[in-house]
Amino acid sequence: MSVLRNTSVEAAQLVRNGSLDVVYVDARHDYRSVKEDMGLWWSKLCRGGVLSGHDLIWPGVRRAVVEFVAKQKDDVHQVSSSRRNTSRAGSSFAARESVARGRRGQV
In sequence order, what DSSP letters do the residues of 10-55 get, joined into one string? Answer: HHHTTS-TT-EEEEE-----SHHHHHHHHHHHHTTEEEEEEEEEE-
Q: 69 near 76, Cβ under 8 Å?
A: yes
CB atoms inside a 10 Å sphere around CB 78: 12
- What pLDDT is stored for residue 100 in this prediction? 60
Q: Please identify every stretch of the chain with a pLDDT value under 50, giving residue numbers as ranges.
A: 85-96, 103-107
Distances (CA, A) of 65 to 14, 21, 85, 102: 24, 19, 21, 17
- What pLDDT is stored for residue 98 in this prediction? 57
3-state secondary structure 28-39: CCCHHHHHHHHH
Per residue in 75-105, pLDDT tens?
Answer: 776 566 555 544 333 323 334 455 665 544 4
